[in-house]
Structure 1
Amino acid sequence: MSLRSPLYSQRKPLLAVVALLVTGFLAIALLGYYAAHASVRDTLLKTLYLNLLIGALVTLTVLVILYRLIDRYQHRIDAQATLDSLTELPNRRGFDLLAVQALHEAQREPKPLAALLLELDEFKRLGATHGHIASDQLLTGFARDLTDSLRHSDIVCRWSGEAFIVLLKDTDGQNGLKIAEKIRQRIEQQRYFCSGKELRVTVSIGLTTLQDEDTLHSLLSRTDHALQRARQTGNNRTCVQMPHSSYE
C-alpha cells in the first residue's frame, strides 16, 4: 500500500498523447507520400523511414526520461508520507506497512515477536514549562536513544505525540522485558540539553507478545492496556499484558 501522487496517474494519459502524436505524424507522412509523383516516391519513402526511426528514438528517449523523473518523484512522496518529519522515524502509516509484514512472517515461521508501547512521563508538563522547541528537541533525542538501543531488524515508529511503538523480532516475552528495562533505565539516566537547559525524563512501557490468533489491532490493544497500568501505578516502569482476555 502506498500513496500515489497526481503525477503517477498521468502516466497513461501521457502515453496516449505520445501515441496520438506518432499516429498523426505517420498519417501526414503517408498522405504526402501518396500525393507525390512516382519519380520522387522512392526518395520520399527513404526519408519517411529515416524520419520514423528518428522520431521513434526521440519519443522513446523522452518517455524514459519522463518515466524516471515521475518514478523518482513518486518515491519521494511515498517516503514523506510514511516518515515522521521531526524524528525521521516511520509514522503510523509507515508502521502499519512494516508491522503487517512482520506479523505475517512471525506467524508463518512461527517465530516469537514482542511489542512495546512507550510513552514519556509528564511530557505535557515539561512542554508547558520549557516550551515547544525544547519539547521537540527532547523527542528527537529520545528517538535517537531509543533507536540506538535496538537492533537494525527491529521496527520502531513514532506512534503519536510522546508515544513510540517497537516490534522486537525473534524476541520472546522474557527477552522483551530485558530490552524494555534496558531502554527504561537508559532514558532515566540520560540528560537532554534542550534550548540551553538540562532536562531529565522517564518513560513508561507496556509489553506484550504475539499470539497465533493475534491481529495487529489485538496486539496493540494489549500493549496499550499494559502501558496504562504502568502509568496508573506510578510511571517509570514496565508492565506486561498477556493475552488472557480479548480487546477486539
Structure 2
Amino acid sequence: MDSMTAWNWSFLLLRAATTIACVVAAVAVARHGRGRRGTGWGYRAGAILYLLLLAGLTMAEAYGQITTWAGLSTPLLGWFWLGTDLVIPLAVLLLLRILRERNALAGQLAAAARHDPLTGLPNRAGFAEEVAHALARAARERVPVSAAMLDLDRFKRVNDGWGHAAGDAVLRGAADAMRQAMRPGDILARMGGEEFALLLPGLDAQSALPVLDRVRAAVEQAVPHPGGADERVTLSAGVATLATPSNEALEAALRAADGALYAAKAAGRNRALPAA
C-alpha cells in the first residue's frame, strides 16, 4: 500500500464519490416515487437497479485496483461478478415488464382519447374511426346506411333545476338505455352535451324509424327523471339516408338528420322524423 501514488488515491477518491452519487441518486428516485400510484413504479425500479448496479461496479473496480496495487488475490471480486451475472437477466425481465406497462398505458390513453369519459360511448373521434370500418363494409356489401342525430328533450331544465350531477346521471342512463335498444352493429356516439349520433348500417331512413322509436321508448321507460315520477326523460331524433357509403355522404346525412331533429323538436318533441 506504500507504493500507492497521489494518482492512485485520486482514482480511489473519484470512485468513492461516484459510488456515493449513485446511492444518493437511487435514494432520491425511491423517495420521489413514494406514495405515487400508477405504472411509473417500473421506471423507478429500473432506475434504482441501474444506479445500484453502477455503484456496485464502481466499488468493484476500486477494490480490484486496490488489490492489484497491493498484490493481493481477489476472490471477493469473483463473487461480485457472479452476482452481477445473476442481476442482468433480472434487469432484462424488469425491462420487459416496463415495456408491457408502457404499451398497456399507451393503449389506455388511445382508448380514452376516443371515448367519452361520462358515458363510455365513442366521442367524435371514436365515432369517425368506427364509422370508417362500417362504411367500408357497407360499400362491399352494397347495403344502405342511415345516420341519425338524437337529442335529449329539455335537458337544460335538468341541469338548471337539479344540478349537473343529476344531469350526468340522466346522460349515463340514457346512453345505457340506447345501447341496449339499438341493434348489434349500430354505432352510437356522444357528440357533445346531450346530443348523440347513431349510424344504422343496412337501413334507409324509413326503415330506421322503428329502431329509433325503440331507442326513444327505452330512454323514456328506463331513465328516471330527477323531478320524480311525474316527469319523463325523452328524446327527439332525426334520420337521413347516406347517398353513398362515404365520409362526405355521412357529413351530409348528419346535417340533414340534424335538420330533421329540429323539426321533431318543433313538432312537439319525443319523436323521430326522417329528413325531407
For residues 164-209 of structure 1, the C-alpha deviation after alignment (integer angstroms, 9 at most, x for no partner) is: 1111222233321111122233434x26435573330221101012
Does 2:179 match 1:150?
no
Q: Aligned partners of 2:124, 2:199: CA distance in 1, in Å?
A: 13
Q: Which of the numbers 209, 227, 230 marks the counterpart of 2:261? A: 227
Q: Secondary structure of 1:236's match?
A: coil
Q: 2:196 aligned to 147, 161, 164, which one?
A: 164
Match of 2:224 in 1: 193
Q: 1:214 to 1:193 in 2, by over 3 A?
A: closer
Q: C-alpha distance in 2, partners of 1:51/1:129? A: 69
Structure 1 residues 53-77: Cα deviation after superposition (integer angstroms, max 9, x where no partner): 7576344323211110111111222
- Once the two structures are superposed, the pairs formed by residues 45-60 of structure 1 within 5 Å of their partners are 57-60=89-92
Check whether the contact 2:177–2:223 (CA below 8 A) recurs between aligned residues: no
Assess if the C-alpha contact under 8 Å between 1:83 and 1:94 holds in 2. yes
Distance 1:64 1:185 in 2: 51
Question: 2:159 matched to 1:115?
Answer: no
Unaligned runs of at least 5 residues, structure 2? 1-77
CA-atom RMSD in angstroms: 4.0
Structure-2-length-normalised TM-score: 0.64
Alignment partner of 1:197: what SS? Answer: coil
- One-letter code of the match for 2:258? D
CA distance in 2, matches of 1:50, 1:112: 70
Matched residue, 1:236: 270
| Letter matched to residue 167 of structure 1 | L
Q: Is the 8 A contact 2:261 2:273 kept in 1?
A: yes
Higher RCO (CA-CA < 8 Å; seq separation 6+): 1
Matched with 2:252 is 218
Deviation of residue 132 (structure 1)? 1.9
Number of positions where the alignment pairs a residue of Structure 1 with one of Structure 2 = 231
The verdict on how the C-alpha distance between 1:136 and 1:232 changes in structure 2, with shifts beyond 3 A counting, is same
Deviations 1:124-145 (A, max 9, x none): 1232222222222211221111
- Asked if structure 2 preserves the Cα contact closer than 8 Å seen for 1:133 and 1:195, the reply is no
User: What's the offset of the Cα at 1:50?
Assistant: 7.8
Identical-residue share of aligned pairs (%)? 34
